[in-house]
Amino acid sequence: MTTSNLERKIRHFHDEPMRPGDPRIRPKGTLLIIGGHEDKENEKVILRALADRVGAGKLVVAPLASESPNEMWETYETVMRGLGVRHVHHLQIESREDGSSLRAMRTLEDATAVFFTGGDQMRITSMIGDTPAFSRIFEIFVNGGIIAGTSAGASVLSETMMVSGDSEESHRIKGELRLAPGLGLARDMVIDQHFAERGRINRLLGVVGQNPRILGIGIDENTAIELQPNASRFRVLGEGGVTVVNGASVTNTNIAEEDPDRTMSIVGVTLHVLSQGDRFDLRTRTPHLGSARDLEAELEMGDRNDAAADD
């Protein structure tokens, strides 16, 4: 695309931003949401799955959340190229102004996948929220592309994101639970990462207690969910677990009645723990056990297909 065409696209996105939640838009893409600390040295199951889905396409690494974006970029560039992704590019956005830049739009041109790395999720939303760069990222997702995120880059993908909260004790009614608007690609859920490793079940229960309509998704390290919003389902891959907190069955809480410093009560909440190969239907909120070995075989088959294509 020529510079003049990119400039027209920037003006178009300023005038008519693409926004999640628009009822006229039904995204065809896939979200790969990673709980952090994914394996980059051994089997690399999760990053291998990302590489398999990118294939011959263009992957844009977006280390916006990091205070050391160049170092983060270099790490993932090396890993992804080692997994056979030939077209890996760095989205350099250091200020909100950069979200409207020709450089950002040129990087995102023809991209089929975008990967948000870890750090501080508020850096991502504050720098690209409702910018032309975000509209382009959403456009990639709408058109069938892959949006991936790890750690902070995972939390930011939900409609409402977890920013902070005490995970060491039972949730207090007015406890230190801080939420903020996320990018909105994963609807009707809150995603928490480093889940089992940092004992974050209490704060996720706190979110669901405040609004049982929201599904709580806690993802362990080196674990991910592959979410297809158009199909309303996800499946699990990686070595850890995914905890699903479903508040639809809640019969009572004390949030509206008790003093703010009291411990929250929540009755009837449904909890599932899923592992690699398991699936979850978001429409019916029903888990389905699957086979970890079948998923491993699928990834191995993808490796063989890629090798054959290179010959």
* Residue 272 appears among annotated catalytic residues: no
* Residue 151 appears among annotated catalytic residues: yes
Choose, from 169, 176, 257, 300, the residue flagged as catalytic.
Answer: 169
Distance CA 235, CA 290 (A): 9
Choose, from 155, 194, 221, 226, the residue flagged as catalytic.
Answer: 194
Choose, from 66, 101, 135, 151, the residue flagged as catalytic.
Answer: 151
* Residue 169 appears among annotated catalytic residues: yes
Distance CA 197, CA 113 (A): 28
Residue found under tokens 């398999």: 52
Q: How far is CA 83 from the centre of its chain?
A: 21
Tokens of 259: 């003093």
Q: Give me the half-sphere count of Cα atoms (radius 13 Å) on the Cβ side of residue 115.
A: 27
What sign results for the dihedral spanned by CA atoms 182, 273, 29, 92?
positive
124, 157 contact by CB (below 8 A): no
Distance CA 182, CA 214 (A): 14
Alpha helices (H) along the chain: 3-15, 45-54, 69-82, 102-108, 121-128, 132-142, 152-155, 201-210, 292-310
CA angle 77, 78, 84 (to 5 degrees): 90
Q: Which positions are catalytic?
A: 151, 169, 194
